[in-house]
């Protein structure tokens, strides 16, 4: 227990010189919760920055809840994903969340953003110029666009019933979403590491891609590495680059690339139905682009 916490809990009034020196060097942050790493950020998001209603029963929304960092689930070029436990101290109200945090401007790469962000402009020309020149301010704007685009995509797709994590909330460039894994914090495996039940997983994926195409959307970076498998169920993740294939000038190419990437992987694993050309043609028809 930290030294200043001991004094508070014991109600100690008289401090010796060493105690005073330690407390001056380690001031108490009265905004911190008694346990965990931070208070729940639920009240920092507006209603439009939270997931679709009704909120799932497992989600902890109480303002007395605290967030506890449990480690990193994934590191990437644009963002890291952390595991968080959100719970109300002294109760059994607790849930696990995946916190995707886009990196600050000093470390963010966004090596693929030029094609994906085409058409995602803002009203102020100053902001558009900053993003085009990749200034520090522009990179922060891009980070915000990626985070907001992913959160909006999760909300839209979840509302449509597609297999994506439930989007809990967005706070700045941090997206909190449903943790896909076990109750004790083990993340579901990526499709790339799975070898069983591939025929069923392929059927699930084709259904999801067809429904996306019907909505005029493509994942934009679909592969065996951004698909999770939980108890035989396929879950689509990593959606910041989702593409409107109708308005984007290269929309059909994104749709075809997604189809070919995943179909080629499944075909290499012996799934006979996974023909890249057939699936690409199916998605183009479903999106009314052929």
Active site residue 277: no
Tokens read off for 85: 């436990």
Considering the candidates 16, 238, 275, 277, report the single residue annotated as catalytic. Answer: 238
Known active-site residue 113: no
Catalytic residue among 31, 43, 67, 221: 221
Of the candidates 284, 127, 287, 153, which has an alpha carbon nearest to the alpha carbon of residue 219? 153
Residues sharing a CB contact under 8 Å with residue 190, sequence separation 6 or more, in sequence order: 224, 225, 226, 227, 228, 229
Cβ–Cβ < 8 Å for 255, 261? no
Active site positions, annotated: 221, 238
């Amino acid at each position: 227990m930290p030294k200043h916490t001991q004094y508070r809990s014991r109600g100690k009034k008289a401090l010796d010189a060493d105690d005073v020196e330690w407390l001056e060097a380690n001031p108490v942050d009265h905004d911190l919760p008694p346990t965990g790493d931070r208070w729940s950020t639920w009240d920092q998001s507006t209603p439009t920055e939270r997931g679709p209603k009704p909120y799932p029963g497992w989600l902890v929304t109480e303002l007395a809840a605290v967030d506890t960092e449990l480690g990193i689930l994934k590191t990437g070029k644009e963002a890291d994903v952390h595991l968080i436990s959100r719970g109300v101290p002294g109760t059994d109200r607790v849930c696990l969340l995946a916190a995707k945090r886009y990196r600050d401007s000093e470390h963010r790469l966004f090596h693929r953003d030029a094609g994906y962000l085409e058409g995602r402009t803002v009203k102020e020309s100053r902001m558009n110029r900053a993003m085009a020149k990749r200034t520090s301010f522009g990179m922060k704007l891009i980070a915000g666009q990626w985070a907001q685009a992913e959160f909006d995509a999760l909300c839209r797709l979840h509302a449509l019933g597609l297999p994506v994590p439930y989007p809990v909330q967005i706070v700045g460039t941090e997206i909190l979403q449903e943790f896909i894994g076990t109750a004790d914090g083990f993340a579901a495996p990526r499709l790339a590491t799975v070898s069983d039940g591939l025929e069923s997983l392929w059927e699930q994926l084709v259904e999801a891609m067809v429904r996306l195409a019907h909505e005029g959307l493509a994942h934009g970076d679909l592969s065996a590495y951004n698909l999770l498998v939980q108890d035989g169920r396929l879950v689509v993740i990593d959606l910041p680059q989702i593409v409107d294939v109708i308005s984007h000038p290269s929309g059909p190419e994104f749709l075809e690339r997604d189809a070919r990437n995943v179909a080629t992987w499944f075909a290499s694993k012996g799934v006979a139905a996974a023909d890249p050309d057939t699936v690409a043609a199916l998605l183009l028809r479903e999106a009314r682009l052929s």
